[in-house]
Amino acid sequence: MSDYLHQKGGLLLSTLTESARSSSVEIDGLRRSFGERAVLDGISLRIGRGELFGLLGPSGSGKTTLIKLVTGIDRADAGEVRLLGEKMPKLAMLQRFGYMAQSDALYNELTARENLLFFASLYRLSGRKRQERIEAVMALVDLTPHLNKPVAAYSGGMKRRLSLAISLLHEPELLILDEPTVGIDPALRQSIWKELAALRDGGTTIILTTHVMDEADKCDRIALLRDGRLTAVGSPDALKAESGTQTIEDAFIALGGGAQR
């Protein structure tokens, strides 16, 4: 009997470690209400390591609320989030993921370089490595000539690009991006998507929200959030097949992605 329990325990443990190893993001039974309204009404989801995962939903469906719970910025009323096997919220996890909020969290009175230096110190980057990373991320978002400008003089799109650069600064193994390409020109948007795909190919897990359907099509899997629940989760092709549609936009509408109730 004890052998049996030992074996069963071992099996359970190895299943749990396997799932922790293969999932970057584990969300279980997440609920969040504002007043009477349940914005998230029992969300459960697994996002695998090295997956590029898109979160879609009509405006007001709770995408940002979910992202804030995943990062640990906001607390759920019920349910649990684990990032890279660690229960959130956990301060030490800030080193391990990159986060780009929907509204830019930048110091306007400082230059871009000073903003990057501030975040580099939070991520304990210093010396040559810090310099290399600052140069690399500013080149990536096409802001190198504007490194020494105060952020107050940046346009909205430039601020978005700087926020993206900051989220990438410490080469995190997990990237959480809330509408990363809003206000960014098509050419630069394409190069940012190439970089996101390259990061994913290198093993980085990426979760992002988007309203842009051709971006959703580039994700490995997408989830559709509506009325507090995930109404569909799968690869773009699987969701098109499931809804009998040819485009992700039609699939989005067919699967209940129209305006919120």
Ligand X SMILES: Nc1ncnc2c1ncn2[C@@H]1O[C@H](COP(=O)(O)OP(=O)(O)OP(=O)(O)O)[C@@H](O)[C@H]1O
Give the interface with ligand X as residue ranges (CB under 6 A). Answer: 34, 39, 57, 59-65
Q: 99 near 61, Cβ under 8 Å?
A: no
Q: Of the two residues 169 and 233, which places its CB atom closer to ligand X in the complex? A: 233
CA 141 to chain centre: 18
Q: 3-state class of 142 per DSSP?
A: coil
Shortest distance, CB of residue 238 to ligand X, whole angstroms?
A: 23
Q: Of the two residues 17 and 103, which places its CB atom closer to ligand X in the complex? A: 103
Shortest distance, CB of residue 178 to ligand X, whole angstroms?
A: 7
Q: Of the two residues 226 and 240, which places its CB atom closer to ligand X in the complex? A: 226
Q: Of the two residues 236 and 257, which places its CB atom closer to ligand X in the complex? A: 257
Residue 68, C-beta contacts closer than 8 angstroms, at least 6 positions apart: 74
- Nearest-angstrom CA–CA distance, 113 and 148: 6
Residue 210, C-beta contacts closer than 8 angstroms, at least 6 positions apart: 54, 55, 56, 179, 180, 181, 216
Shortest distance, CB of residue 182 to ligand X, whole angstroms?
A: 9
Shortest distance, CB of residue 90 to ligand X, whole angstroms?
A: 22
Burial of 67: CB neighbours in 10 Å, binned 0-12, 13-18, 19+: buried
Shortest distance, CB of residue 2 to ligand X, whole angstroms?
A: 50
Q: Of the two residues 65 and 204, which places its CB atom closer to ligand X in the complex? A: 65
CB atoms within 10 A of CB 240: 20
- Nearest-angstrom CA–CA distance, 66 and 27: 10
Q: 3-state class of 213 per DSSP?
A: helix
Q: Of the two residues 78 and 153, which places its CB atom closer to ligand X in the complex? A: 78
Shortest distance, CB of residue 64 to ligand X, whole angstroms?
A: 3
Q: 172 near 96, Cβ under 8 Å?
A: yes
DSSP designation for 155: -
